[in-house]
């Protein structure tokens, strides 16, 4: 029994390792950018392009990742994503000009986008309903650890300015992901969807009690479809309301201000008069907060529920950004206040939207279109991410950070109202129960 529990944890660890790479490759650029700007002479637009290279690639990865996951399987696709992470890490680390740096950042982005959609999907399909929220949120915990790891690496190399090593070291977890997933099982739901019941039964036995297997297989098969579902099915009258919920959650997660915190915290602190090394050291504190409160969120998600966590998070984020905007607009805010507001934002975001959005996206869509629907919602997410990240340096130069923080605070209020009215509560329900209720046009709020 103990060996079985260990193997279960290994499955969840390697399944979530893509989240660590997602976090590292999006977080590492915050510190590296300070030195890349000096070495390559970046304009504000080129600065935004270097940051957004990952996001441009992520758009493609998210768009095709879901469909590929339905076609070749979750496990095989994650292995291929590990290979792309490795290629991107090597390419960015050895880039000698902005063109090759952006190119390989795009390659990394394809892996990031695919992982953002498929890792939560794989974890949610592997986990029992009672702990699915905690297991699926491991992706975000690993994401937070990846961001923290990036911040620490940034600080280690900040005195030398070796941004190439900051980017290159992502090769270590990417190779671990690629090799480790070779020994992990395929999603039992994907196996059943593809007429491989005996394999699905063996996989379920790894993570379930034997007396639960027949009932779960029966419930999955009851909702399985043998027909290929066209993309147009996403926009059918039955699916359209839940698709709009998924797209809304995906977009709001990106436009409530988190990208400005993760990507540009060192820049914000340097603009307030803090030195480069001290600014990067400050991000380590933000990264630690991110990890700790992501852990707290994983404990609370199956207790308080997805919806309540998102609402509480919106209140904290909007308050932090509002104070940050007002304090910097009307007077020279001290560095402790800036760090305090940044920390409050990360507390609220990490314990709520940072992980809950991915869990909700992995839960609300029916099995027959789950991969495609998550891919579509993730595409919208990365489009919003690109828009925010490309525009932020330019808007920061023209409008100033104070106005931007206030705008994001208002968007946070809009997100609160959206969740309150439209987002369903899925706590404690199996994926099949959620699907049956949606299909029957019942409320699951």
C-alpha of 93 from chain center: 23
- The percentage of residues in the chain with a pLDDT greater than 70, rounded to a whole number, is 85
404 belongs to a structural domain: yes
Q: How many domains does one find in the chain?
A: 1
Exposed e or buried b per residue across 150-188, where buried means at least 16 C-beta atoms within 10 angstroms of its C-beta: bbbbbbebbeebebbebbbbbbebbebbbebbeebbbbb
Q: What is the pLDDT of residues 242-268, one digit of tens each?
A: 888 889 999 999 888 776 666 666 666
Residue 240 belongs to a domain: yes
pLDDT(145) > 60 = yes
Tell me the CATH number at 144.
1.20.1250.20
Maximum Cα–Cα distance across the chain? 67
Least confident of 38-42, 215-219, 274-278, 361-365: 274-278
Measured CA to CA, the distance from residue 299 to residue 184 in angstroms comes to 25
- 380-390 burial, b at 16+ Cβ within 10 Å, e below that, comes to bbbbbbbbbbb
From CA 440, how far away is CA 423, in angstroms rounded?
A: 17
Ramachandran category for residue 430: left, alpha or beta (phi over 0 → left; psi -120 to 50 → alpha): beta
Residues 378, 9: Cα–Cα separation, whole Å: 27
- Is residue 213, in this structure, part of any structural domain at all? no
pLDDT tens track for 356-368 = 887 888 778 876 7
Cα(349)–Cα(142) distance, integer angstroms = 15
And the tokens for 100? 């090759």
| Assigned domain for 192 exists | no
Pair of tokens at residue 425:
């509560």
Question: In whole angstroms, how far apart are CA 362 and each of 66, 121, 176, 208, 402?
Answer: 11, 5, 24, 20, 35
Region of 400 (left: φ > 0; alpha: ψ -120 to 50; beta: rest) is: left
Residue 226's pLDDT is what?
A: 43
- What is the C-alpha R_g of the chain? 21
Which pLDDT belongs to residue 227? 47
Q: Is the pTM of this model over 0.95?
A: no
Q: Helix H segments across 73-97?
A: 74-93
Whether 65 is in a domain gets the answer yes
Q: Which domain covers residue 292, as residue numbers?
A: 2-184+225-439
Report the pLDDT averaged over residues 8-14. Answer: 78
User: 172: number of CA atoms within 13 Å, CB side?
Assistant: 11
Residue 167 within a domain? yes
* C-beta neighbour count of 421 within 10 angstroms: 8
Asked if residue 81 belongs to a domain, the reply is yes
- Asked whether residue 163 is domain-assigned, the answer is yes
Q: What is the pLDDT of residue 41?
A: 76
pLDDT surpasses 80 at 183: yes
Measure the CA–CA gap between 113 and 88, rounded to whole angstroms: 13
Q: How confident is the model at residue 151 (pLDDT cuts 50, 70, 90)?
A: confident
pLDDT, mean of residues 289-297: 86
DSSP 334-348: -HHHHHHHHHHHHHH
Crossing angle for the helix pair 44-72 and 2-40, nearest 10 degrees? 150
């Amino acid at each position: 029994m103990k060996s079985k529990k260990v193997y279960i944890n290994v499955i969840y660890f390697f399944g979530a390792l893509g989240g660590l790479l997602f976090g590292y490759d999006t977080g590492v650029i915050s510190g590296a950018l300070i030195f890349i700007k000096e070495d390559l002479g970046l304009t504000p637009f080129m600065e935004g392009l270097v940051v957004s290279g990952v996001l441009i690639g992520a758009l493609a990865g998210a768009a095709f990742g879901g469909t590929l996951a339905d076609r070749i399987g979750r496990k095989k696709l994650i292995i291929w994503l590990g290979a792309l992470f490795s290629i991107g890490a090597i390419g960015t680390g050895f880039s000698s000009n902005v063109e090759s740096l952006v190119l390989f950042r795009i390659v990394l982005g394809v892996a990031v986008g695919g992982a953002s959609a498929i890792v939560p999907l794989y974890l949610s399909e592997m986990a029992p309903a009672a702990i699915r929220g905690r297991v699926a949120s491991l992706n975000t915990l690993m994401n937070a650890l990846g961001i923290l790891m990036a911040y620490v690496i940034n600080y280690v190399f900040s005195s030398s300015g070796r941004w190439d090593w900051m980017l290159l070291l992502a090769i270590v977890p990417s190779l671990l992901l690629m090799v480790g997933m070779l020994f992990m099982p395929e999603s039992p739901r994907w196996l059943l969807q593809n007429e491989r019941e005996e394999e699905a039964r063996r996989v379920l036995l790894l993570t379930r009690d034997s007396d639960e297997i027949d009932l779960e297989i029966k419930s999955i098969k009851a909702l399985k479809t043998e027909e290929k579902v066209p993309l147009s099915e996403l926009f059918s009258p039955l699916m359209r309301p839940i698709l709009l919920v998924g797209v809304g959650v995906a977009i709001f997660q990106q436009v409530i201000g988190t990208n400005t915190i993760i990507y540009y915290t060192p820049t914000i602190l340097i603009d307030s008069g803090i030195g480069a090394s001290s600014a990067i050291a400050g991000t380590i504190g933000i990264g630690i907060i991110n990890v700790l409160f992501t852990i707290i969120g994983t404990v609370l998600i199956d207790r308080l529920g997805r919806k309540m966590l998102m609402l509480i998070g919106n209140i904290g984020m909007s308050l932090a950004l509002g104070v940050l905007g007002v304090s910097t607009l009307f007077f020279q805010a001290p560095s402790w206040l800036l760090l305090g507001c940044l920390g409050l934002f990360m507390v609220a975001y990490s314990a709520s939207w940072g992980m809950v959005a991915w869990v909700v996206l992995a839960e609300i869509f029916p099995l027959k279109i789950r991969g495609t629907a998550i891919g579509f919602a993730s595409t919208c997410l990365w489009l919003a991410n690109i828009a925010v990240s490309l525009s932020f340096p330019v808007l920061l130069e023209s409008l100033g950070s104070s106005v931007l923080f206030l705008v994001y605070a208002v968007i946070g209020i809009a997100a609160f109202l959206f969740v309150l009215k439209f987002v369903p509560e899925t706590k404690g329900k199996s994926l099949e129960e959620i699907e049956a209720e949606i299909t029957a046009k019942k409320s699951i709020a």
